[in-house]
């Protein structure tokens, strides 16, 4: 059922990706800087989660 | 014109403004009061037991924090006529769009489980079995959305918001020391020293003030209600009133628990209700009813935040003004989230404590992104025109958002590493 749903919605997801492929907001210096900070923040969080996961598994 | 004629016209003008406000009010009040969800009630109860009335002044500080963040969603929704998910996709591209949407839906679903945990625990005090609570909640939430009118949904939800004020009579019931309560309004250092535990409670209270679903919910609700630029002042007032009411409710919870259970370690609000029932029957009963109502309000808003966002992106009809036949996917997403979240609570041995902790971690992955996108969009002159953030608004909003991001991130990290602030 899940795969049927995914198959049915894959073209739709592709269409959404096409529609929003170009950000409308002008990527000025401050905007780029904010997005870079966000990426770093998310990487840090993912790192923390992975660290926690590994320490729980090895404990 | 004599004085009576002037008074008559003044009265008529005020009455007209009040009637207009009653028509336009809703999203701000609902989102703010629903912010005091089951998890929030537990946080306030634990804070009240730990620090008594000394924390009241800090809750008052949270009024502008909640207001300034949420009023941005009113402006953005009223000007762009788009929900937050759609705004992120359109302005920041598919990567950030999918990240926000998937994170929101997952985070909302986990939070929904915590609301069901709160509701089943609250009604469990009165001997209602969990399965009956979950069935009843799904039935109530079905009835209020299936009438096919946004207006009816909003007004029914506002009745539940009114029930949230039940903590006020509960506080009068326990006869608090009014002088001590007023002293708590003045800034002070709860507990007499700044230590890790106080820092943890500060983080927890800030963490419950702004949640990702609130941003998505209010912006989508503003759009679904059909608010336009000229309604923004009413939307702002509605949000301010909601922010004040949510802090009033939180304060009265603090007063109830701080009066009856000082120094007691509270793990959840249902436990506090049971303890209160031992000495103050009505106050405990009111606390349990309030906890159920808080969970219900949270569940109503959270499940809609996800359904609206999914509808915006997948292009489904996604208005509460649509009947079920007109917007089948929108209602399917709404009920699927409810039924599966309720089902998880009924699974014997389900890791509910782990889920409760995990919600905090997932929420901090989305909250900074949602807040940063909000500020960037509110600074886009092309989109916002005269409603873009002023310099003063930017200083205030960026300051508030920075504090929220840092403290809520530390709060999330403390869920991963419980010894961090001990």
Q: What pLDDT does B313 receive?
A: 92
pLDDT tens string, chain A, 59 residues long: the values are: 667 777 777 888 888 999 998 888 888 898 899 899 889 888 888 888 888 878 877 87
CB of B28 within 8 A of CB of B218?
yes
User: Which secondary structure element, helix H or strand E, spans residue A19, and what is its range?
Assistant: helix A2-19
Beta carbons within 8 Å of B96's beta carbon, 6+ residues apart: A35, B88, B89, B369, B373
Q: Find the Cα–Cα–Cα–Cα dihedral B250, B256, B262, B266, rounded to 10°.
A: -60
CA A6 to chain centre: 18
CB of B239 within 8 A of CB of B214?
no
- N-to-C CA span, chain B: 70
Q: What are phi and psi of B321, to 5 degrees?
A: -80, -5
Contact call for B94 and A41, based on CB within 8 A:
no
The CA distances from residue B203 to B48, B60, B196, B206, in Å, are 15, 15, 10, 5
Beta carbons within 8 Å of B339's beta carbon, 6+ residues apart: B138
Q: Find the Cα–Cα–Cα–Cα dihedral B275, B280, B282, B288, rounded to 10°.
A: -20
Residue with tokens 């402006």: B75
CB of B304 within 8 A of CB of B75?
no
What gap in Å lies between CA B176 and CA B215, rounded to an integer?
35
CB of B311 within 8 A of CB of B330?
yes
Residue numbers in B near A11 (CB within 8 A) = none
Contact call for A49 and B361, based on CB within 8 A:
yes
For residue A45, the chain B residue with the least C-alpha distance is B365
Residue with tokens 């003045």: B186
Contact call for B368 and A41, based on CB within 8 A:
yes
Residue numbers in A near B358 (CB within 8 A) = none
What gap in Å lies between CA B45 and CA B174, rounded to an integer?
15
Residue numbers in B near A20 (CB within 8 A) = 89-90, 93-94, 97
Residue numbers in A near B89 (CB within 8 A) = 16, 20
For residue B366, the chain A residue with the least C-alpha distance is A42
CB of B211 within 8 A of CB of B367?
yes
Contact call for B372 and A22, based on CB within 8 A:
no
Nearest to A23 by CA among B170, B81, B96: B96
Contact call for A25 and B377, based on CB within 8 A:
yes
Beta carbons within 8 Å of B156's beta carbon, 6+ residues apart: B144
Helices (H), B264-327: 269-279, 281-314
Contact call for A23 and B361, based on CB within 8 A:
no
Contact call for A38 and B372, based on CB within 8 A:
yes
CA distance B42 to chain A (A): 25
Collapsing DSSP states into helix, strand and coil, what is residue B422?
coil
Nearest to B365 among A9, A12, A42 (CB): A42
What gap in Å lies between CA B228 and CA B172, rounded to an integer?
41
What gap in Å lies between CA B154 and CA B34, rounded to an integer?
12
Nearest to B73 by CA among B31, B23, B37: B31
For residue B376, the chain A residue with the least C-alpha distance is A31
For the record, the structure tokens of B395 come out as 């200083």
CB of B184 within 8 A of CB of B57?
yes
CA B231 to chain centre: 22
For the record, the structure tokens of B399 come out as 């300051």
pLDDT tens string, chain B, 422 residues long: the values are: 678 888 888 888 888 877 777 776 788 888 998 888 888 888 898 888 888 888 899 999 989 989 998 999 999 999 999 999 999 999 999 999 999 999 899 989 999 999 999 999 999 999 999 999 999 999 999 998 887 788 888 888 889 999 989 999 989 988 888 898 898 888 887 777 777 778 888 888 887 888 889 999 999 999 988 889 998 998 999 999 999 999 999 999 999 998 988 888 888 888 888 888 888 888 889 989 999 999 999 999 999 999 999 999 988 888 888 888 888 999 999 999 999 999 998 988 877 777 777 777 777 778 888 889 999 999 998 889 899 999 999 999 899 888 888 887 887 777 778 777 66
Residue numbers in A near B417 (CB within 8 A) = 52
Nearest to A16 among B92, B313, B368 (CB): B313
Nearest to B413 among A23, A34, A48 (CB): A48
Burial of B350 (0-12, 13-18, 19+ CB in 10 A): middle
CB of B289 within 8 A of CB of B163?
yes
CB of B201 within 8 A of CB of B189?
no
- ipTM entry: 0.88
CB of B233 within 8 A of CB of B128?
no
Contact status of B361 with chain A (Cβ, < 8 Å) = yes
Interface of A with B (CB under 8 A): 9, 12, 16-17, 20-25, 31, 34-35, 37-38, 41-42, 45, 48-49, 52
For the record, the structure tokens of A16 come out as 């959404």
Nearest to B93 among A22, A48, A52 (CB): A22
Residue numbers in A near B377 (CB within 8 A) = 25
Contact call for B94 and A25, based on CB within 8 A:
no
Contact call for A16 and B417, based on CB within 8 A:
no
CA distance A3 to chain B (A): 17
CB of B284 within 8 A of CB of B101?
no
Contact call for B90 and A38, based on CB within 8 A:
no
Q: What are phi and psi of A41, to 5 degrees?
A: -60, -45
Q: Taking the CA of residue B170 as centre, how many other CA atoms within 13 Å lie in the half-sphere pointing to its CB?
A: 34
Nearest to B97 by CA among A7, A43, A21, A58: A21
Average pLDDT for chain A: 84
DSSP code, position B264: P
CB of B250 within 8 A of CB of B104?
no
For residue B416, the chain A residue with the least C-alpha distance is A52
CB of B358 within 8 A of CB of B110?
yes
Q: What share of chain B is helix, strand, coil (3-state, %, to 5)?
A: 85, 0, 15
Q: What pLDDT does B289 receive?
A: 92
């Amino acid at each position: 059922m899940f795969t049927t749903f995914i198959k049915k919605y894959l073209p739709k997801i592709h269409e959404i990706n096409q529609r929003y492929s170009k950000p409308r907001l002008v990527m000025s210096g401050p905007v780029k800087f904010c997005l870079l900070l966000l990426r770093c923040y998310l990487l840090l969080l993912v790192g923390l989660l992975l660290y926690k996961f590994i320490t729980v598994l090895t404990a | 014109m004599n004085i009576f004629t002037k008074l008559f016209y003044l009265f008529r003008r005020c009455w007209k403004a009040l009637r207009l406000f009653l028509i336009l009010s809703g999203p701000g009040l609902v989102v703010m009061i629903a912010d005091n969800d089951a998890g929030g009630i537990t946080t306030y109860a634990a804070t009240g037991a730990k620090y008594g009335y000394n924390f009241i002044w800090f809750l008052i500080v949270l009024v502008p924090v909640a207001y300034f963040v949420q009023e941005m969603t009113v402006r953005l929704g009223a000007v762009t006529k788009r929900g937050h998910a759609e705004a992120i996709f359109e302005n920041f591209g598919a990567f950030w769009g999918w990240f926000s949407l998937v994170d929101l839906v997952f985070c909302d679903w986990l939070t929904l489980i915590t609301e069901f945990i709160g509701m089943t625990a609250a009604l469990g005090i009165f001997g209602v079995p969990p399965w009956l609570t979950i069935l009843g909640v799904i039935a109530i939430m079905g009835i209020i959305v299936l009438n096919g009118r946004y207006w009816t949904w909003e007004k029914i939800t506002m009745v539940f918001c009114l029930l949230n004020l039940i903590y006020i009579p509960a506080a009068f019931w326990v006869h608090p020391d009014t002088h001590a309560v007023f002293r708590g309004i003045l800034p002070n250092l709860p507990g007499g020293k700044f230590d890790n535990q106080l820092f943890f409670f500060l983080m927890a209270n800030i963490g419950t003030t702004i949640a990702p679903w609130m941003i998505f919910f209010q912006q989508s609700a503003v759009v679904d209600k059909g608010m336009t630029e000229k309604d923004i002042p009413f939307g702002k007032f509605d949000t301010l009133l909601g922010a004040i009411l949510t802090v009033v409710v939180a304060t009265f919870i603090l007063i109830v628990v701080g009066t009856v259970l000082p120094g007691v370690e509270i793990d959840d609000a249902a436990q506090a209700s049971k303890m209160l029932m031992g000495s103050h029957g009505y106050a405990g009963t009111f606390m349990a009813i309030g906890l159920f109502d808080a969970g219900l309000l949270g569940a109503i808003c959270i499940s809609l935040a996800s359904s609206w966002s999914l509808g915006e992106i997948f292009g489904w009809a996604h208005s509460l003004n649509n009947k079920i036949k007109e917007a089948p996917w929108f209602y399917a997403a709404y009920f699927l989230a409810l039924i599966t979240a309720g089902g998880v609570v009924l699974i014997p041995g389900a890791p509910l404590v782990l889920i409760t902790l995990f919600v905090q971690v997932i929420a901090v992955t989305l909250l900074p992104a949602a807040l940063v996108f909000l500020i960037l969009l509110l600074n886009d002159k092309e989109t916002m025109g005269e409603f873009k953030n002023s310099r003063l608004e930017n200083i205030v909003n960026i300051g508030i958002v920075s504090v929220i991001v840092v403290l809520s991130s530390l709060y999330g990290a403390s869920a991963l590493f419980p010894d961090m602030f001990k």
